[in-house]
C-alpha cells in the first residue's frame, strides 16, 4: 500500500527549458556588471559572461558527484574566474547584492506550471497521501524556489520540501530521498516518487527502495533503468495511485 508520494520539480511540475536558462543568464550577467560598477569594479560583459559559463562548468563537476553548493559559493567561483583587476575578497554587502542578482530573475520571469500539475497535487492531497518535493537546485536556491511555489499556488500541497542546496546532496543519491521520507515519517516501501529524469529520479528512487513513476513526455525508450510505472501526462497518476492504495 502506498501512503506517500514525492515529486521532482523541474519539468515534472514546473517548466525548466533551455530558453529559460538563456533568459536568466542574460539578466544575471547584466545585473552583476551593474552591481560591480556601483562598487567601482569595472568588468566587461564578455568577461562576466565567460566567468558565468566557466563557473557553471565547475559547478557541474561538483554536481556530478551528487554534492551541492550555496548561491554564495557559486558567486565566489565566478569571482575567482574574473580578471585580476578586482579586490581579492567580496565584502558582505557586495555578496548580498550579487546573490540577489542570481536569485531574483526566477521570480520576476516565473516559468509556467506543467499542464495538470496543480490539479494533480490538490487531488492527491485530498486523498490524504503525504506529499513531498525533492528538487535538485541549480543557480536558484531552495529559499527562492519556495517563494515561486507560493506564487504559483502549490506550496501548501507539500508536507515537506527538500532542496539539494540546503541538504548539500543531489539526486540520484538515495540519501536525499531517504531524508525526505524520514521527515515525512514514511517508509520507502510505502512511497512512490514521480519525476521526468530516469538517471536522477527513477534511479535514485529505486536505490532508496521506493517505487517510481516516470513522466515520459517524449516517449523515450528505456534501456538499463526501467521505472515501475510510466505516464505521459500528470492526470494519469491518479489511476496508478488508486490501484496502489
pLDDT at 84 exceeding the cut of 80: no
| pTM score | 0.94
Domain ranges of the chain: 4-15+114-244, 18-108
The sign of the torsion formed by the CA atoms of 166, 167, 168, 174 equals negative
Q: Which of the listed CATH numbers 3.10.20.90, 2.70.98.10, 3.60.40.10, 3.40.50.1000 matches domain 4-15+114-244?
A: 3.40.50.1000
- From first CA to last CA, the distance across the chain in angstroms is 5
Q: For 4-45, what is each residue's pLDDT tens digit?
A: 999 999 999 999 886 678 899 999 999 999 999 999 998 999
Of 206 and 88, the structure prediction assigns the larger pLDDT to 206
* Residue 89 pLDDT > 90: no
Strand order through the sheet with 130-135: 160-163, 130-135, 4-7, 191-195, 211-215, 229-231
**What digits encode the pLDDT tens for the residues 210-224?**
999 999 988 899 999
215: nearest Cα among 63, 18, 2, 16: 16
Mean pLDDT of the region 162-190: 98
**Do the beta carbons of residue 94 and residue 39 sit within 8 Å?**
yes
> How, if at all, do strands 130-135 and 211-215 pair?
unpaired
CA torsion sign for 73, 74, 80, 85 is: negative
The band of 113, judged by pLDDT with boundaries at 50, 70 and 90, is very high
- Give me 112's grid cell: 509556467
Q: Residue 34: how many CB atoms within 10 A of its CB? A: 11
pLDDT of residue 9: 98
pLDDT at residue 29, as a whole number: 95
Average pLDDT of the chain?
Answer: 95
For position 61, what pLDDT does the model report? 97
Q: What is the DSSP track for 59-110?
A: HHHHHTTTB---HHHHHHHHHHTS-SSS-SS--HHHHHHHHHHHHHHHHHSP
Outline where DSSP puts E strands in the chain: 4-7, 130-135, 160-163, 191-195, 211-215, 229-231
For the cut 90, the answer to whether the pLDDT of residue 87 exceeds it is: no
Amino acid at each position: 500500500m502506498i501512503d506517500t508520494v514525492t515529486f521532482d520539480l523541474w519539468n515534472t511540475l514546473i517548466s525548466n527549458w533551455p530558453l529559460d536558462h538563456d533568459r536568466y543568464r542574460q539578466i544575471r550577467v547584466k545585473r552583476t556588471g551593474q552591481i560591480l560598477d556601483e562598487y567601482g569594479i569595472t568588468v566587461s560583459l564578455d568577461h562576466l559572461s565567460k566567468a558565468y559559463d566557466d563557473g557553471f562548468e565547475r559547478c557541474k563537476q561538483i554536481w556530478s558527484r551528487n554534492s551541492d553548493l550555496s548561491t554564495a559559493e557559486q558567486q565566489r567561483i565566478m569571482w575567482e574566474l574574473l580578471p585580476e583587476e578586482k579586490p581579492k575578497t567580496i565584502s558582505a554587502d557586495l555578496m548580498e547584492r550579487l546573490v540577489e542578482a542570481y536569485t531574483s530573475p526566477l521570480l520576476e520571469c516565473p516559468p509556467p506550471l506543467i499542464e495538470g500539475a496543480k490539479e494533480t497535487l490538490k487531488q492527491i492531497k485530498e486523498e490524504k497521501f503525504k506529499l513531498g518535493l525533492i528538487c535538485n537546485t541549480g543557480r536558484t536556491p531552495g529559499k527562492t524556489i519556495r517563494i515561486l511555489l507560493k506564487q504559483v499556488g502549490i506550496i501548501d500541497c507539500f508536507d515537506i520540501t527538500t532542496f539539494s542546496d540546503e541538504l548539500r546532496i543531489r539526486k540520484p543519491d538515495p540519501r536525499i530521498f531517504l531524508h525526505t521520507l524520514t521527515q515525512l515519517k514514511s517508509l520507502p516501501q510505502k512511497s512512490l516518487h514521480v519525476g521526468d529524469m530516469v538517471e536522477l529520479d527513477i534511479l535514485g528512487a529505486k536505490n532508496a527502495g521506493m517505487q517510481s513513476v516516470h513522466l515520459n513526455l517524449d516517449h523515450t525508450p528505456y534501456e538499463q533503468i526501467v521505472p515501475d510505472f510510466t505516464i505521459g501526462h500528470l492526470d494519469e497518476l491518479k489511476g496508478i495511485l488508486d490501484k496502489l492504495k
